[in-house]
């Protein structure tokens, strides 16, 4: 991994306290694709990776989740799905104000509906081919890390 730093929970975990973007994604392959993309297009960007929703919720609980300008949350994850995770964050961690953008490989209408009900900040469908996906992710990362302002 060139550009993405893995964030672990636990007493000995070491990672920066601040990122441009954090990805919650269970698939290593997806992360590798992302890493390749980031290395080529955003070599200066600080990105973190949390492998599943359980770790994310632990970090939130311990208040050790690093700050970020945006969080990309994958929908399809084992055990706690992205939507379940979103629901917990929105109901239990109302102080967590980082924009959350959902990622999904399908346009499943129900998922989208549910995500917006839970006040997600965006919903990106992962394109079937890499070129399209790159284009989409470039714009999304540009927007959320460079153009968007949060306080």
Partner 1 sequence: MADSIPYYSEPYDLTNCESEPLINIQRAQSYGELLLCDLNFKHWYYASEILAKALNTTSIIDLVKGLTSLDLNTLDITSNTTFIEGHPKNLIIHRNEAAYTLELEPNAAPGGIKLSTRQLQQSILTISREYSFQEFIDKVCTEVRNITEYDHVMVYQFDENYDGKVIEEKKTEERPTYLGLKFPNTDIPKQARDLYFHEQVRIVYDTSGTQTDIYSNTLIKDKPALDLKGVSIRGVSPIHLEYLRNMKVSSSFSVAIIHENKLWGLIACHHTSKKFINYEIRDWLKFVSSIISSNLSKLFKYNSEVSVGSKKLLRKQILEKILASKDLADSLLNSDHSIMNLIESDGAILKMGSDINCSGNIDNDSLNVELENLFEWLSQQEDFNVKVINDVKSALPNYDFGETIASMLIVQLSHLSGDYIIWTRQEKQIEIQWAGVISKDKHFDAAKNRLTPRKSFEKWKQLEGGKAKEWTTQDIEVAAQLKREIREYLYERYNEMTLLNQELKEAYEEMETFSYSVSHDLKAPLRSIEGFAQILKEDYHTVLDEHGLQLLNIITSSIAKMNDFIADILKFSKLNRESLHIMKVNLNDLLDQEWRIIKAIKEHENAVLIKPDLPTVYGDVNVISQIFANLMGNSIKYVLKGEHPKIEIQYYEKEGFLEIHLYDNGIGIPPQSRSKVFEVFRRLVSDEEYPGTGVGLSIVKKGINRHGGTIKITDGINEIGTGFIFTLPTNAQFLELRKNKTIN
Q: What residues make contact with partner 1 under the rule CB under 8 A?
A: 27, 29-30, 32-33, 36, 76, 104-108, 126, 128-131, 133
**Separation of alpha carbons 133 and 151, rounded Å:** 29
Indicate the helix (H) or strand (E) that contains 47.
strand 47-50
Q: How far is the CB of 87 from partner 1 (least distance, A)?
A: 18
Question: CA angle 65-141-125, nearest 5°?
Answer: 95
Q: Which is nearer to partner 1, 106 or 148 (CB)?
A: 106
Residue of 26, 8, 24 whose CA lies nearest to 16: 8
Q: Which is nearer to partner 1, 31 or 59 (CB)?
A: 31
Q: Which is nearer to partner 1, 128 or 147 (CB)?
A: 128
Q: How far is the CB of 151 from partner 1 (least distance, A)?
A: 35
């Amino acid at each position: 991994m060139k550009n993405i730093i893995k964030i672990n929970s636990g007493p000995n975990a070491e990672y920066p306290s601040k990122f441009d973007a954090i990805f919650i994604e269970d698939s290593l392959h997806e992360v590798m694709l992302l890493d390749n993309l980031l290395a080529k297009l955003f070599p200066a960007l600080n990105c973190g990776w949390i492998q599943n929703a359980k770790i994310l919720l632990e970090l939130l609980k311990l208040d050790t989740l690093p700050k970020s300008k945006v969080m990309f949350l994958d929908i399809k994850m084992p055990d706690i799905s992205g939507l379940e995770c979103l629901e917990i964050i929105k109901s239990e961690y109302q102080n967590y104000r980082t924009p959350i953008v959902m990622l999904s490989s399908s346009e499943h209408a129900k998922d989208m509906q549910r995500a917006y009900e839970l006040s997600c900040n965006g919903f990106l469908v992962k394109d079937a081919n890499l070129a399209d996906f790159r284009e989409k992710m470039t714009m999304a990362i540009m927007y959320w890390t460079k153009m968007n302002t949060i306080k």
